[in-house]
Chains A and B, each alone.
Chain A
Amino acid sequence: MKTIAGTTGADRRVDPRPPARSLLLSKSASRWQRTASFLGQGFLFLVTAFSAASILFIFYYIFRDALPFFQLRGVAEFFSSTKWYPTGSPPEFGALAIFFGSGLVTLGAVVVAVPLGVAAAVCLSDVLPFGLRQAVKPVIEILAAIPSVAYGFFALVVLAPLLQSQGGPILAVTAWCVGAPLLLLSSVVIGDLSTARLAGPKARALRLGVTFALILIGGFGLWRLGITLKAVEVSSGTNALNVSLILGIMALPTIVSVSEDAIQATGRDLREGSYALGATRAETLLKVIIPAASSGILAAVILGIMRAIGETMVVWMASGNAAQIPSPWLNFLEPVRTLTATIAGDMGEADHVTGSARYHVLFAMAACLLLISFLCNLASEQVRRRTLRKIEGA
């Protein structure tokens, strides 16, 4: 036992100081402290719980006003008919075309935003030097910060007239911009692959020949396509295409930042492993990094979809608000109408007659939106959690 014997070391005593505060709490003080801590924590918990419970309130109050619609009109008409005449006599509440409109513009936004967003995210995390990356970040932040009504205003006042007057040429130029590089690349790749087994100078000549032939055929097709597109007349600038473009740009920041995080999270080991096997950067990214980050990218895409589907102002201002299914189905040049725009536009006339089907149908739409976004959110959370577990497990 390494104890110190005796207690007489008077020479080494600590300086005299005022009587120290007792270490032990009195019973009442201890009880008071425990109560105070309990009450304080309870208060904090209540505030937190109340904040979180807002979502429950939202669900309750939206569904409470949505149910009467289904009681009044049933379910079938709402989801299956395309006849939307809420003010007619008798009124008709077929929202299929409106659901279709929401779906169409969201699809368009995804087509615009996902390839651009993922490519930009990859570029940001793996290609750009640090300084440039720091310069691009604020661009993304500002793009995300611009109010949706400003986007809508732009779509309505600047983009719509442009599409209306120059729609055909714009489409043709876009087709060329997207098509020409794709064509060149695929020709080169197919030329290479088709002659991969051969060797010698003949192979080289053959490869060049195949490549050029492909380019010529494809180029001719592209040229014809360009001419067809150029002749297209856009009857109204406020259409699904306009809205899809703007929604795509609005969804870009979300997609870029979330998928960049996912791509960064894959770590350096994976990259070094691939580079060490002689893969180029593109091969590493496409075959190793993007598959490894795929669930994070999926989460990003879901968030982007949520942003597009829930957006109100842009579609209200620039989609044309025609409750019809375009013909043919994927004709982006026709006006459409979405759930959000319908709610925003019709509530003004309906909100004084609570109790009518016309009022409650809007809540039914909101309930559908709420459910969709809730499920999307759960899905993206789930996907992200799975990624986290994968990374932690590795």
Chain B
Amino acid sequence: MAPTLLATLRPPARPEVSQEGLTAHVSAREFSVFYRKVEAVKQVSFDIPSGLVTAIIGPSGCGKSTFLRAINRMNDLIPGCRARGELVFDAANVYSPEVDVVALRQRVGMVFQKPNPFPKTVFENVAYGPRLQGTRDRVRLASIVERSLVKAALWEEVKDRLSENALGLSGGQQQRLCIARALAVDPEILLMDEPTSALDPRSTTRIEDLIGELRGSYTIVIVTHNMQQAARISDLTAFFYEGVLVEYGPTQRLFTTPEKKQTEDYITGRFG
């Protein structure tokens, strides 16, 4: 029974990714995250390959978002949150004290669960990052904004509304604006924390298409509670359960022939 069910989840025809011959962009080694006494992520070790889409799935509260937010140290905002072990990016442990968090976050962009544009104009939203990096020249800013919006597949819709308040856009547009805003900083890695959970199906499709287009240019790590989505858009999938990395591998294999019982149970919907 399981194989047939799994077959419905089979991703569309798409080159099988082999784990051979990939460059690790971020590597976790015995990496744990604690909220005060509680260990939310438990000693996970795996590599996130460069240029591919890696999905992290698992039931709510399994530590997938915590892990994602550890990569650009967004967890620093939460009081009482600390990490142990290694999370290596560009030959440095992200959590070592001499790491410049600002530089890290400029190289590791993030898109959040709910679209969160600033209450500023569309233009100012996208230009926020480049301005931070010291770009003052109006013409250069305009070209960065345009390029980012084009990459985020939003340019055609908003090119006449650049000076309007971003909060006036629809939810899906706002989320793509957030992606454009993240892209404008020119990051290497793009972290997405359930980017479509607050959107309607049509907007979700557009975002998924967009992720497909961005694949190859950016390393994308996406957390999702939607297994179909993970199956549709990711090259590799990691399954977290209660803070532990249960299984990690090419998406197609993970969804068709999971090695672990827990993975299979989750994928077939027996829990979570």
Contact = CB atoms under 8 A, between A and B. Distances in A.
| A/B: CB atoms within 8 Å of each other | yes
Interface of A: 1-9, 12-15, 17, 20-25, 29-30
Please provide the 10 A-B residue pairs with the shortest distance between their CB atoms, ordered closest to farther: A9-B21, A12-B51, A9-B22, A25-B100, A2-B248, A2-B46, A4-B47, A21-B103, A23-B92, A4-B22
10 contacts: A3-B24, A6-B20, A12-B23, A12-B51, A15-B216, A20-B107, A21-B103, A22-B100, A23-B89, A23-B103
Contacts of A2: 45-47, 245, 248-249
A308 B186 CA distance: 62
B238 to A, nearest CB: 8
B117 to A, nearest CB: 25
Contact of A25 (B52, B89, B99): B99
B104 A23 contact: yes
A14 B100 contact: no
B151 to A, nearest CB: 11
A178 to B, nearest CB: 52
A40 to B, nearest CB: 15
Grouping DSSP codes into helix (H, G, I), strand (E, B) and loop, the B interface class, with mixed when no group exceeds half, is: mixed
Given A14-B188, A23-B92, A1 B45 contact: yes
Nearest to A22: B103
Given A6-B21, A12-B22, 14 more contacts: A2-B46, A3-B24, A3-B27, A3-B47, A6-B20, A9-B23, A9-B50, A12-B51, A14-B51, A23-B89, A23-B94, A24-B99, A25-B103, A29-B100
B112 interface: no
Contacts of B103: 21-23, 25
B98 interface: yes
B188 A20 contact: yes
A93 B258 CA distance: 93
B219 A23 contact: no
Interface in B25-62: 25, 27, 45-47, 49-52
B217 interface: yes
A1 B103 CA distance: 30
Contacts of A30: 98, 100
A13 B46 CA distance: 19
Contacts, number: 85
A22 B90 CA distance: 9
Contact of A13 (B19, B23, B99): B23
A3 B27 CA distance: 8
Contacts of A6: 20-22
B217 A15 contact: yes
A20 B49 CA distance: 18
Contacts of B248: 2
Given A4-B24, A6-B21, A8-B21, A17 B46 contact: no
Contacts of B107: 20-21, 23
A19 B220 CA distance: 20
B106 A13 contact: no
A36 to B, nearest CB: 13
A26 to B, nearest CB: 9
Interface in B235-255: 245, 248-249
Q: Determine which residue in A8, A12, A24, A30 has the highest number of CB atoms from chain B within 10 A of its CB, and name it.
A: A12
B218 interface: yes
A298 B118 CA distance: 42
A25 B51 CA distance: 26
Nearest to A5: B20
A5 B19 contact: yes
A7 B100 contact: no
B50 A13 contact: yes
A24 B107 CA distance: 12
Contacts of B99: 23-25
Nearest to B216: A12
A17 B106 CA distance: 14
Interface in B199-254: 216-219, 245, 248-249
A6 B23 CA distance: 7
Contacts of B217: 14-15
Contacts of A15: 216-217
B49 A13 contact: no
A14 B24 contact: no
B46 A14 contact: no
A29 B50 CA distance: 30
Contacts of A20: 90, 107, 188
Given A9-B22, A25-B100, A14 B49 contact: no
A209 to B, nearest CB: 70
A17 B52 CA distance: 17
B89 A14 contact: no
Contacts of A7: 21-24
A12 B50 contact: yes
A383 B103 CA distance: 48
Contacts of B20: 4-6, 9
Interface string B183-199: 00010100000000000
